[in-house]
């Protein structure tokens, strides 16, 4: 019995040391490339005072440099909130926040260069509308934006639905994010659930969870587990209602005179998704700007430098097109805010 115990100890100690070493290595390796950190309320949020320099590829394989920073609030762009000119606040998901473009190359950087305005931009990959609302609620009192621009993606409709997202294999989103249900914020898992405990404490667990997701994605041909039934009509309608409520709360969260606009970044060619987004925006008091995403989509048909290597997100060329189109759409409300005096 004693020999068995010693043998078990002899096996356990090297294994524990190996796991500790792997954890330390991956924690150090991931820290340099990980823009987001766990957050109990938001699920995850951009890391404050983050700096990244690297290279990415566009969909044609060409490499381009990327320089990304965040300030103490986790914003990619932070203008002067006390400046005597229009203040434009952009909030969104991976198209706004991920490491696919430098701060200056991003659509919001292009707008800052082309308009007489103070530009603020924040978001996080995988965010739904509730998480974006929570960011706006936290920072609108500081910024007091004259213009709020919501960057929307068609998958936000699913991200906003507790039921629809149950089928997702992206556990590090659905298991962490908040959901809006019956006028209250809820979470899929309790804080003490084993998944959340392991996720927030161990980089190695996050690594293996991501590898499992990649395997499932290749096997399933997408992010939905085929064991689940497709969303029902009722579930889609409920997702639309929730999203519209969140849009309306965004309007209520900002100053009364704020202009509210939204542009979509993916799946605009899907007629049903576009109609849902447009209807939700109009009902909530947002002005939809479909021309932004459509301009990028049109250019991407013949120019591989428009999209990033994943074929979905925008490379710097795509952001330049989106930024120029946005600047045209925002020129009038920016001028109106400047003429009214800030």
Q: What confidence tens digit (pLDDT) does each residue in 268-323 have? A: 556 678 899 999 999 999 999 999 999 999 999 999 999 999 999 999 999 999 99
Mean pLDDT of 87-108: 97
pLDDT of 266: 75
- What's the chain's average pLDDT? 92
pLDDT of residue 118: 98
Q: Which two tokens stand for residue 258?
A: 């704020």
pLDDT at 5 over 80: no
Domain segments of the chain as ranges: 1-31, 37-161+231-340
The yes/no answer on whether domain 37-161+231-340 falls in CATH 3.40.50.150 is: no
> Looking at residue 1, what is its pLDDT?
59
Confidence of residue 16 (pLDDT cuts 50, 70, 90): low
pLDDT in tens, 165-193: 999 999 999 999 999 999 899 999 999 99
On the question of pLDDT at 205 being above 60, the answer is: yes
Calpha distance 137→148 (Å, rounded): 12
Q: What is the pTM of this model?
A: 0.92
Q: Is 287 left (phi over 0), alpha (psi -120 to 50) or beta?
A: beta
Name 267's Cβ contacts closer than 8 Å, sequence gap at least 6.
153, 154, 155, 273, 274
Q: What percent of the chain has pLDDT over 90?
A: 84
d(CA 267, CA 274): 8
CA dist 14 and 210 (Å) reads: 25
């Amino acid at each position: 019995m004693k020999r068995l115990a010693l043998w078990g100890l002899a096996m356990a100690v090297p294994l524990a040391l190996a796991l500790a070493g792997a954890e330390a290595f991956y924690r150090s390796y991931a820290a340099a490339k990980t823009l987001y950190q766990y957050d109990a309320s938001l699920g995850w949020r951009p890391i404050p005072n983050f700096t990244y320099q690297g290279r990415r590829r566009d969909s044609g394989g060409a490499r381009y440099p990327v320089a990304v920073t965040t300030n103490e609030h986790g914003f990619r762009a932070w203008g002067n909130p006390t400046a005597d000119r229009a203040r434009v606040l952009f909030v969104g998901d991976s198209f706004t926040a991920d490491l696919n473009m430098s701060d200056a190359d991003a659509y919001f950087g292009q707008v800052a260069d082309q308009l007489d305005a103070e530009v603020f931009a924040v978001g996080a990959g995988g965010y739904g509308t509730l998480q974006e609302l929570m960011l706006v609620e936290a920072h609108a009192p500081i910024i007091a934006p004259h213009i709020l621009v919501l960057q929307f993606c068609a998958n936000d409709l699913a991200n906003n639905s507790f039921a629809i997202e149950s089928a997702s294999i992206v556990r590090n989103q659905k298991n962490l994010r908040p959901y809006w249900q019956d006028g209250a914020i809820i979470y899929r898992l309790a804080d003490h659930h084993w998944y959340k405990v392991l996720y927030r404490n161990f980089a190695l667990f996050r690594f293996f969870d991501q590898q499992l997701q990649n395997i499932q994605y290749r096997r399933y041909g997408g992010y939905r587990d085929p064991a689940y039934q497709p969303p029902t009509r009722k579930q889609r309608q409920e997702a639309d209602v929730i999203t519209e409520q969140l849009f309306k709360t965004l309007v209520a969260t900002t100053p009364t005179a704020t202009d509210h606009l939204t542009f979509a970044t993916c799946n605009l060619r899907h007629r049903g998704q576009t109609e849902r987004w447009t209807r939700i925006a109009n009902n909530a008091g947002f002005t939809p700007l479909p021309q932004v995403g459509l301009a990028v989509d049109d250019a991407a048909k013949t120019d591989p430098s428009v999209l990033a290597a994943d074929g979905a997100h925008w490379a710097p060329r795509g952001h330049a097109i989106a930024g120029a189109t946005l600047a045209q759409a925002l020129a009038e409300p920016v001028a109106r805010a400047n003429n009214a005096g800030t």
